[in-house]
Amino acid sequence: MSVETPAGRASNAMVSSDRLWQDIMALAEITEPHRPYTRRSFSDWFLDGRKWIETRFRDAGMSVRYDTAANMIGRLEGTEAGLPTIAIGSHSDTVPSGGRFDGILGVLAGLEVIRTIRERNIVTRHPIEIIDFLAEEPSEYGLSCVGSRAMCGHLPESTLALQNSEGESLRQAIARIGGNPDELASARRLDLAAFLELHIEQGRVLESSGTDLGLVSSIVGIVRLEIEFLGSADHAGATPFDLRRDALVAAASTIAAVRSIGEQYAAKGSGYFIATTGGIHVEPNAANVVPRLARLIVEARAEDAALLAAFVADIEETSNLASANARVERPVFRQLSDSLPAHCDPRLRAHMADAARFLELSSVSMASGAGHDSSFIAQIAPIAMAFVPSRDGRSHCPEEWTDPQQCADGAAILLETLLRVDRDEAFDRPSFITGNIVRTFA
Amino acid sequence: MSVETPAGRASNAMVSSDRLWQDIMALAEITEPHRPYTRRSFSDWFLDGRKWIETRFRDAGMSVRYDTAANMIGRLEGTEAGLPTIAIGSHSDTVPSGGRFDGILGVLAGLEVIRTIRERNIVTRHPIEIIDFLAEEPSEYGLSCVGSRAMCGHLPESTLALQNSEGESLRQAIARIGGNPDELASARRLDLAAFLELHIEQGRVLESSGTDLGLVSSIVGIVRLEIEFLGSADHAGATPFDLRRDALVAAASTIAAVRSIGEQYAAKGSGYFIATTGGIHVEPNAANVVPRLARLIVEARAEDAALLAAFVADIEETSNLASANARVERPVFRQLSDSLPAHCDPRLRAHMADAARFLELSSVSMASGAGHDSSFIAQIAPIAMAFVPSRDGRSHCPEEWTDPQQCADGAAILLETLLRVDRDEAFDRPSFITGNIVRTFA
């Protein structure tokens, strides 16, 4: 990674660090009181948070509407009729006991961009929209990125039938909070010139290298595998090595292979690659019994879809060998989910890099290892993403933290990128990236 | 292992295969009806089973008493006054949803020995006892081998204070079923000439080699380790390999080392050695989060106590290296329990091998990888044990199975060994194996 480090520090920024910070802290107050910070999508807290945001959107001079998928959209018209929309967006929902920045920063920084535009009497040729996508985090209905899926036409009837634990369907829930599931097709957008998202990094790369901004090259594709080994639950004392069929031994060998093969792929130079064994289930899981069953959940993420396919083939082979060595069966080897990488638009990335130089912010090109609403929007518009640092890489927890100045840096990069895109006639017509077809996203 | 295979087949056996089998099947009927085969120690089913056994003991001509630790003891007097007792014993309690043979065979085969002695008008010089030890299996009070511990003076006040989930103490439970915890010291036996135990193998060694009998050389010592690795619960997508601290990767490396180092120790030629990672606990155990914590339960069993100590030192070093490689901490490395091996008496083993030859049964010398009442009794008397085959090595489950003829072979080896010991003047005085000090037994 090559870090670009200018001499100075964001002195060209027009946004207000204090105003943005106060918004972030104020929205954080709207939370389930006994487990901050929690505003799960579809909950009363989430709707209260949205009302609070809607009021600020209107105060900033935007019109506000809900599309049929219950995405909340603030809009500022441009000066030239007929130009497509430049959109900025992220999400205001949280995971249970989540943080104050994940998603939220992207929405409130968009608000700060609009306020700055208005108070500086800046006009844009294109209309600008700030989008609060519905339910980016995994919802009670078992689906994430509900709003961004709908906006690119990927919310089929089968997913609308998903139910929460109380038996309410996703269809009913969307209708309850102001959407119109019968007219979902109209949520699909064909009028976007460009889409920009600011997000916290949720990792340690920026912090550990002391870099202000991450300029995202691609959002990784993700493949998840379930691998099950089946041996025999023999007496751990009475069964010698040559007679035992230990499922955990095969699993351990596979966990090691996921790491070592993953490291080889990461070193290939074909972009970001990461692999993790995050989940393990063992039966009977008793000190004095040879493990009969071991089930692993393995995940790989990459910018290069071909690497993901090759990794799956390698682990298929390695885990098969591991099961043969331990004399166990491998009855299950299957892909639980599979999404393709989404690539950021080169022209938008160039504008963003130029904006960072103008703002005298150091930046690094990096992949997003986490999924975002942008992954879906990449199917209907050119996208670009910027990251600001996460302290200790923490996210999805109350300790999630990004400094006020770092948040303001993020708003500044959105504004300066937006102004450059607005001036660029290449974005005067809607554009589709047809190569990015996201199949599923977990 | 060298198998001794005579030409013929148990034609010299005096015991009745049918009678023994009918007893085993009849006792199996006394079970919790909805989860056969369950007669947990201290339960009404257990007490019903004991009443049934007591009646048969008396019918066979034995006197029956309960010692102060509530061991049930049938006794047949010998012809020479003042000789110490030759005892045969095992246990009639089961694990929940256990089998029909584990422990039970050893008690009922003892009964069959006495019946055969009586009906053939055989007389013995020594008194003979058949002991049904209390609570060999882990009881609701968290302790196993309660009766055999007491018989060698290892049931201290601290263990008597253990309580079941309903708040009854072990002390109260022993009193409830006919023991006298205030006089526990009198349960200690100093008058045993020899102790013999017949048990099912609970493994596949005999079946896979087609051998009739296992003649036990030693009962293994057992050491259990708890090893905990502590890393960081980072985002599985946003955290590159060089920044992650994956506790499961360190654990997997250690699981592999337990197996490979275990196999090296088993190949050393210093007797039986086996090692198992049976238990694993991982947090947060989620597909998209790098594992923060991994806790392993590792067990090793060996005939040679020095090997156990060396293995613990090796795993201490290997797991430390694994944690360093994965950049995680290893806050816990501790021994949960530790018992020394118990060795069978060479003279008794020679009598047993001679008896096998006489009965034309093939036999193999082998270690017991499982713990037994004999492990404790070895502290107060010379012991010997014989195994009969377990189908598919299954035990502690309803599928546990040993053929009728194999059960009868077991009773025959007990009887023929007993008669040889009874004739051997070396067993005319009580004997102590002072080298076998069992500290704990799990």
Interface predicted TM-score (ipTM) of this complex, two decimals: 0.85
- Which candidate, A356, A351, A374, A344, places its Cα nearest to that of A426? A351
Which band of pLDDT confidence, cut at 50, 70 and 90, is reported for residue B338?
confident
Q: What is the pLDDT of residues A341-373, one digit of tens each?
A: 999 999 999 999 999 999 999 999 999 999 999
Question: Do B243 and A288 count as a contact with CB atoms less than 8 A apart?
Answer: no
Cβ contacts of A233 within 8 Å, gap of 6 or more: A283, A284, A289, A290, A291, A292
Residues on chain A touching B315 (C-beta within 8 angstroms): none
Region at A403 (left for phi over 0; alpha for psi -120 to 50; beta for the rest)? beta
Across the interface, which of A224, A393, A442 has its CB nearest the CB of B235?
Answer: A393
Answer yes or no: are the C-beta atoms of A253 and A322 closer than 8 Å.
yes
Across the interface, which of B235, B287, B369 has its CB nearest the CB of A224?
Answer: B287
Beta strands in A114-233 (DSSP E): 128-133, 192-200, 213-219, 221-230
The pLDDT of residue B340 is: 85
Query: What tokens appear for A110 in the block?
Result: 């968009």
Dihedral angle of Cα A177, A178, A183, A188, to the nearest 10 degrees: -90
Query: Which residues 98-137 of B have a C-beta within 8 angstroms of A?
Result: none
List the single residue in B with minimal CA-CA distance to A252. Answer: B252
What is the phi/psi pair of residue B331, to 5°? -65, -20
Task: Report the run of H or E that residue A400 belongs to, with start and end.
Answer: none
Residues on chain B touching A396 (C-beta within 8 angstroms): 235
- Which candidate, A141, A144, A136, places its Cα nearest to that of A169? A141
The pLDDT of residue A288 is: 87
**A432 vs A198, residue with greater confidence:** A198
Q: Is the confidence at residue A317, as pLDDT, over 70? A: yes
* Superfamily of B17-219+341-427 according to CATH: Zn peptidases (3.40.630.10)
- Any chain A CB within 8 A of the CB of B237? yes
**Which residues make beta-bridge pairs with B257?**
none
Q: What is the CA radius of gyration of chain B?
A: 23
Sign of the CA dihedral running A387, A389, A392, A398: negative
Question: Cα angle vertex B7, ends B4, B11, to 5°?
Answer: 105
Question: Do B235 and A202 count as a contact with CB atoms less than 8 A apart?
Answer: yes
Q: Report chain A's mean pLDDT, rounded to a whole number.
A: 93
List the single residue in B with minimal CA-CA distance to A301. Answer: B237
The pLDDT of residue B431 is: 67
| Direct distance between the N- and C-terminal alpha carbons of chain A, in angstroms, rounded to an integer | 28
- Any chain A CB within 8 A of the CB of B371? yes
- Any chain A CB within 8 A of the CB of B249? yes
Residues on chain A touching B279 (C-beta within 8 angstroms): 282, 285-287
Residues on chain A touching B280 (C-beta within 8 angstroms): 248, 280, 282, 285
Q: What is the pLDDT of residues B262-273, one digit of tens each?
A: 999 999 988 999
Sign of the CA dihedral running B359, B362, B364, B369: negative
- Which candidate, A292, A294, A295, A260, places its Cα nearest to that of A276? A260
Overall CATH class of domain B221-339: alpha beta
Q: How many CA atoms lie within 13 A of A345 on its CB side?
A: 26
- Which candidate, A108, A123, A97, places its Cα nearest to that of A72? A108
- Any chain B CB within 8 A of the CB of A243? yes
- Any chain A CB within 8 A of the CB of B269? no
| Residue A65 to chain B, least CA–CA distance (Å) | 33
Question: Do B287 and A274 count as a contact with CB atoms less than 8 A apart?
Answer: no
The pLDDT of residue B3 is: 54
The pLDDT of residue A4 is: 56
| Pair type for strands A192-200 and B213-219 | unpaired
Residues on chain B touching A311 (C-beta within 8 angstroms): none
- Which candidate, A243, A253, A221, places its Cα nearest to that of A317? A253
Cα gap B277→B257, rounded to integer Å:
10
Q: What is the pLDDT of residues A215-253, one digit of tens each?
A: 999 999 999 999 999 999 999 999 999 999 999 999 999
Write the DSSP string, B345-403: PHHHHHHHHHHHHHTT--EEEEEE-S--HHHHHTTTS-EEEEEE--GGG--SSTT----
Question: Cα angle vertex A322, ends A321, A325, to 5°?
Answer: 85
Helix, strand, coil proportions of chain A in percent (round to 5)? Answer: 35, 20, 40
Q: What is the pLDDT of residues A75-102, one digit of tens each?
A: 999 999 999 999 999 999 999 999 999 9
> Which among A200, A204, A282, A339 is the top mutation candidate for probing chain B, defined by the most B β-carbons within 10 Å of its own β-carbon?
A204
Name the 3-class secondary structure at A318. helix
- Which candidate, A355, A356, A358, A373, places its Cα nearest to that of A424? A355
- Any chain A CB within 8 A of the CB of B391? no
Q: What is the pLDDT of residues B17-26, one digit of tens each?
A: 999 999 999 9
The pLDDT of residue B143 is: 86
Query: Which residues 349-368 of B have a C-beta within 8 angstroms of A?
Result: 368
- Any chain A CB within 8 A of the CB of B198? no
The pLDDT of residue B429 is: 87
- Any chain B CB within 8 A of the CB of A256? yes
Q: Is the confidence at residue A427, as pLDDT, over 60? A: yes
**Which residues make beta-bridge pairs with B331?**
none
| Residue B262 to chain A, least CA–CA distance (Å) | 9
Residues on chain A touching B291 (C-beta within 8 angstroms): 277-278
DSSP-H helix ranges across B60-190: 104-119, 146-151, 157-160, 170-176
Name the 3-class secondary structure at B429. coil
> Which among A137, A199, A248, A295 is the top mutation candidate for probing chain B, defined by the most B β-carbons within 10 Å of its own β-carbon?
A248
- Give me the mean pLDDT over the B292-298 stretch: 96
| Residue B26 to chain A, least CA–CA distance (Å) | 27
pTM here is 0.85
Name the 3-class secondary structure at A195. strand
Cα gap A289→A364, rounded to integer Å:
51
Where in chain A are all domains bearing CATH 3.30.70.360? 221-339
- Which candidate, B37, B52, B373, B46, places its Cα nearest to that of B177? B46
> Which among B206, B246, B248 is the top mutation candidate for probing chain A, defined by the most A β-carbons within 10 Å of its own β-carbon?
B248
Lowest-pLDDT range of A8-22, A86-100, A266-280, A333-347: A8-22
Lowest-pLDDT range of A248-257, A284-293, B61-70, B108-117: A284-293
Q: Is the confidence at residue A11, as pLDDT, over 70? A: no
- Give me the mean pLDDT over the B47-54 stretch: 98
| Residue A47 to chain B, least CA–CA distance (Å) | 28
Name the 3-class secondary structure at A419. helix
Where in chain B are all domains bearing CATH 3.40.630.10? 17-219+341-427
Residues on chain A touching B202 (C-beta within 8 angstroms): 235, 237-238
Cβ contacts of A192 within 8 Å, gap of 6 or more: A84, A85, A86, A87, A377, A380, A381, A430, A431
Q: Is the confidence at residue A440, as pLDDT, over 70? A: no
Percent of chain B whose predicted confidence (pLDDT) is above 90: 88
Counted across chains A and B, CB pairs separated by less than 8 A come out at 196
Which band of pLDDT confidence, cut at 50, 70 and 90, is reported for residue B441?
very low
Cα gap A331→B232, rounded to integer Å:
32
List the single residue in B with minimal CA-CA distance to A279. Answer: B285
Residues on chain A touching B299 (C-beta within 8 angstroms): 236, 287-288
Residues on chain A touching B216 (C-beta within 8 angstroms): none
Cα gap A133→A148, rounded to integer Å:
6
Give the C-alpha distances (Å, rounded to integers) separating A315 from A319, A335, B259: 6, 12, 21
The pLDDT of residue B220 is: 95
Query: What tokens appear for A263 in the block?
Result: 């490291």
Question: Do B248 and A255 count as a contact with CB atoms less than 8 A apart?
Answer: yes
Q: DSSP letter for A120, please.
A: T
Region at B369 (left for phi over 0; alpha for psi -120 to 50; beta for the rest)? alpha
Query: Which residues 295-334 of B have a C-beta within 8 angstroms of A?
Result: 297, 299, 301
**B70 vs A12, residue with greater confidence:** B70
Query: Which residues 204-223 of A have a C-beta within 8 angstroms of B?
Result: 204-205, 208, 220, 222
> Which among A241, A311, A392 is the top mutation candidate for probing chain B, defined by the most B β-carbons within 10 Å of its own β-carbon?
A241
Q: DSSP letter for A154, please.
A: -
Residues on chain A touching B252 (C-beta within 8 angstroms): 251-253, 255-256, 259, 277
Q: Is the confidence at residue B439, as pLDDT, over 60? A: no
List the single residue in A with minimal CA-CA distance to B202. Answer: A238
